[in-house]
Amino acid sequence: MERRFVSIWFRYLSTDWFVLRKPQLNNKAFVLRTPSHGRMIVTAVNALAEAQGIHAGMVLADARAILPDLEVFDDEPDLVTKLLKRIAEWCIRFTPFAAVDPPDGIILDVTGCSHLWGGDEPYLNDIITRLKKQGYYARAAIADTIGAAWAVARYNNRTLIVPSSQQSEAILTLPCAALRLEPGTIERLQKLGLRQIRDFIGMPKSALRRRFGSHIITRINQALGVEEEFIQPVQPIELYSERLPCLEPIATATGIEIALQRLLEALCKRLQKEQKGLRTAKFKCYRVDGKIEEIQISTNAPSYNVKHLYKLFEIKIVTIEPDLGIELFVLEAPKVEDHSPSQQQLWEAMYGLQHIQLAELMDRLSGKVASISINRYLPDEHYWPERSIKQASSLQETTTTEWKVDRPRPMQLLATPQSIQVAAPVPDYPPMNFRYKNKLHKILKADGPERIEQEWWIQDGQHRDYYIVEDEEGGRYWLFRLGHYDEDYKWFIHGFFA
């Protein structure tokens, strides 16, 4: 497939932005200024000021001499950079490959995109029309190379669409500045009478390199497609993603559901073919007003099950606000893992944590009650109770040590021991009763103590003497006394037995 690129040129980007903020400037000549070496320099002009002979780089005093009624505003630092980045992100609705092209442009890699709009002409017209509706004066051209598209957008007033493989013919009559050369090189070319690209493009490369340097050779090769040129997208391109542009904006829940279903089918088909499964997925909806609605899901195991993944998204679809309509849907899978179908046993079902149905059940529950509510824990190599368990990252994570079963442990362990009040107990014996959350518990049975020493290589502290106690209602608790029995002792509850 032939590569195709679109170059967008914003001739009055800064001043257009000021007009959007202050509509009363629409019919007035004005410029932006910034101090430089003790003088005020014009940094940007609008179309009306430019028509009067005022241009960027001019001293402000000279500009006022030409047009006394000229309005002047302070330029904002990094304004152009921020605007280009914002517009490039907006252009992702036309192609996933959108890059900033300083100082006044954007480059789009539109390979394989224009046919969705019916061809290059309606595709390019749609881009320009939408940008103008937003208030920005823009020119755009499409060609097989970035260099040719850039040159035509800025210097060709006859056509903005360069047919495939005809970039050479498209740039021959353009000025030498259309090759994106340095000002010094352009000046030397013009002094020699080489004003158009056709005047020197056929010269021997060695002669051009010797006279003007290697940069001019690089620019010629890039414009003709001999040397490839790369762009840096404003948003990283996910390896596993699918896009669905809409001919008309979608504003109904049914339309969103159909779009999601189609994207899932396309993405999962690809994942299955490559024996991959997604662990996280993002469903992005690009609205007509430029805003992006996004929902995200996660799975406990790699999956390419369309029906299951759709159910996870379905719970969150109601949070999407289409407003005036959505014109582009994108499904991305930022986290993907290897996933091969498990070999099924002939006579018995597969049980255990590796079973895919268990993972899907956990996914559905997590979507309904929040993922932080469902956790899996594994034993950890520590004696201190709070450190003896760790949260597993997935159902597939294996244990590095065995559960300690030589001593009884509560079914529910408090993350932080809670203080309790006890009646004065006999030294080295459990208390007769204790008060927890304003309720008095009379102890009928007790077992212990079990001394657990502080892990000195991690932190300093006192040891704990644990007791298993049972109250008059049959409730069983895990209590401990902190440190040796003395006048400063404290008692805590740390867990509950079944």
- DSSP readout, 30-63? EEEEEEETTEEEEEEE-HHHHHTT--TT-BHHHH
Would you place residue 356 in the very low, low, confident or very high pLDDT band (cuts 50, 70, 90)?
Answer: low
Would you place residue 341 in the very low, low, confident or very high pLDDT band (cuts 50, 70, 90)?
Answer: low
Does the pLDDT of residue 198 top 60, yes or no? yes
Strand-strand pairing, 30-36 and 39-45: antiparallel
- Residue 252 or residue 2, greater confidence: 252
Over residues 167-194, mean pLDDT:
93
Would you place residue 239 in the very low, low, confident or very high pLDDT band (cuts 50, 70, 90)?
Answer: confident
Find the helix or strand (DSSP H, E) in which 421 lies.
strand 412-422
Residue 236 contacts by C-beta under 8 Å, 6 or more apart in sequence?
none
Residue 35 contacts by C-beta under 8 Å, 6 or more apart in sequence?
41
Would you place residue 350 in the very low, low, confident or very high pLDDT band (cuts 50, 70, 90)?
Answer: very low
> pLDDT digit string (tens) for 208-220?
999 999 999 999 9
- Contact predicate 404/379, CB 8 Å: yes
Strand-strand pairing, 326-338 and 241-250: antiparallel
- Contact predicate 255/321, CB 8 Å: no
- Residue 395 or residue 422, greater confidence: 422
Cβ count within 10 A of residue 369: 10
Q: What's the token pair of residue 51?
A: 């028509």
Task: Kindly report the pTM of this predicted structure.
Answer: 0.67
Q: Can you tell me the distance from the alpha carbon of 447 to that of 466, in angstroms, rounded to the nearest whole number? A: 9
DSSP for 231-260? ---SSPPPSSEEEEEEEEEE-SHHHHHHHH
Instruction: List domains and CATH numbers for the chain.
Output: 1-237 (3.30.70.270), 241-338 (3.30.1490.100), 412-496 (no CATH)
Q: Can you tell me the distance from the alpha carbon of 70 to that of 493, in angstroms, rounded to the nearest whole number? A: 78
């980007």: which residue's tokens?
13
Residue 497 has what pLDDT?
93
- Contact predicate 491/419, CB 8 Å: yes
Give the up-direction half-sphere exposure of residue 477: CA atoms within 13 A in the CB hemisphere: 25
Cβ count within 10 A of residue 355: 15
